[in-house]
Amino acid sequence: MFQAEIRGRKLTGADGLQLHLHCYTAPSGRGDVLVIPGKGEHGGRYAELAGVLEPLGWRLWGLDLRGQGLSDGPRSRVARFVELVGDVHAAVQMIRPAKDRPLILLGYSMGAAVAVHYTVQYPANVQGLILVSPCFRIDHRLKGIYGLAAHLGSWLIPHRVLTTGYDPAAVTTDPLEQQRIAADPLIDGTTRPRFVIELHRAARRCVGMAAEIASPVLTLISPTDRIVDPLGAHDFHQNLKGDRLLVEYPGLRHDLLHERERERVQQDITTWLTGRWGHA
What global pTM score does this model have? Answer: 0.92
**Confidence at residue 29, expressed as pLDDT on a 0 to 100 scale:** 78
CA distance 67 to 226: 24
Q: What is the pLDDT of residue 99?
A: 66
pLDDT given for residue 126 in this prediction: 96
Cα 32 to Cα 5, 21, 163: the distances in Å are 16, 13, 35
User: What pLDDT score does 159 carry?
Assistant: 58
What pLDDT was estimated at residue 144? 46
| pLDDT for the residue 28 | 63
In whole angstroms, give the CA distance from residue 55 to residue 160.
Answer: 45
With a cut of 70, list the residues of the chain below it in pLDDT: 1-6, 26-28, 97-99, 139-164, 279-280
What pLDDT was estimated at residue 145?
44
pLDDT of residue 280: 55
pLDDT computed for residue 162 by the predictor: 61
Question: What is the Cα–Cα distance from 213 to 238, expressed in whole angstroms?
Answer: 12
pLDDT of residue 198: 87
Residue 30: C-alpha distances to residues 199, 273, 275, 279 (Å): 33, 10, 12, 7
HEC secondary structure over 27-54 = CCCCEEEEEECCCCCCHHHCHHHHHHHH
The DSSP code for 79 is S
